[in-house]
Structure 1
Amino acid sequence: MSQPRPKTQTEQLLDAFIARLKEEFGRELAVELFPEKPSIYRLNHAVGAILVAYGKSTFGASEATEAVFQARSMSFQLTLVFRQLHGSNGAISFLDRIRECLTGWRPPHCDMACRPSAEYYIGEVQGLWQYGVTISTRATQLQLMGPEDGPLLKEIRFEEHP
């Protein structure tokens, strides 16, 4: 029986974003991964939803000569789908609250706290208002290293020198 594959860094980060947003907004909104088929997505919540997706990464130059060690700047996309535009249950109010919730939060594996980098109006379709929020953070990308070749060190002898 094979072991289940551990989640990747990106999958763990998506889980962390979902957990953070559910902790803050789970009683008020639906919080879930962006749907596999957005064209058939249906908002089932009475107020709205936060849909979380991985956006992209850019990588800095390697910071070491003997292995790959580089900064990974990442963005995560939040899509807000709301039945109301204004008021305490509207998309505009939640844009501010979501930004406040994530700004300064440090997800696991990251060496830089989250910061908003963009907000934008997506549109209105059949009475549902949609906005996008881009949240950025940074982690480190490391080369996977296996055991080195060559003989193993089996015995250590220390000698004192006068």
Structure 2
Amino acid sequence: MTRSSVRTVAILDDVVTKLIAEIPDMPAELFPENPAAYRLNHPKGALLLSFPGSQFDALVRSGQNVPAKAGCSRPQARTIGLTITVVLRQLNGRDGAVDALDDVRDALRGFRPSGCRSDLEFVAERFLGEMEGNWQYAVDLVTTVWDGAAAQT
């Protein structure tokens, strides 16, 4: 099996590392595999990164210009979605969830994970609700790669 050069896990690791470096007073980690059992231990909150999926651009096939060959594959443009769930014990104020959303945008604005073709782009912020005294928002982002390419340019 041939692996594509850009691995999704490496992109997730890069984003978590960037969040830790830029927002050192709050833990950043991958979204828990069992959210119902997740326990928020930090007194302020946490930033939880997840991968909701990707979109792929259609390959352009020009008939005579690109003859079909057995075993021939071409790189395909892939837009990778990421979601950061901001979980905080306080909603408003200097250490609240709304302030943390600004921190996340400041930390990731202009950041390009290794192997990606584009900087992270913000798509949306959504209020998810309050659960057991913890306020939750989601920050949706995207970046692009050439899936299956030997190297990103």
2:23 is aligned to: 25
Higher Rg of the two aligned structures: 1
Cα offsets for 1:33-54 (capped at 9, x unmatched): 1001000111000101000111
Gaps of 5+ in 2: 67-71
Gaps of 5+ in 1: 1-6, 145-162
Instruction: Please give the TM-score of this superposition, normalised by the length of structure 2.
Output: 0.84
Q: 2:75 and 2:134 mapped to 1: Cα distance?
A: 44
Identity of aligned residues (%): 37
Instruction: Please give the TM-score of this superposition, normalised by the length of structure 1.
Output: 0.79
1:12 matches 2:5: no
Cα offsets for 1:8-36 (capped at 9, x unmatched): 7001011101100000112x111111001
C-alpha deviation, 1:80, in angstroms: 0.8
Compare relative contact order (CA 8 Å, sep 6+) and give the higher one, 1 or 2: 2
Give the 4+ runs in structure 1 shifted more than 3 A. 63-66
Partners of 1:24 and 1:101 within 8 A in 2: yes
1:160 is aligned to: none
1:75 is aligned to: 81
1:154 is aligned to: none
C-alpha deviation, 1:86, in angstroms: 0.7
**What's the RMSD between the two structures over aligned residues?**
2.0
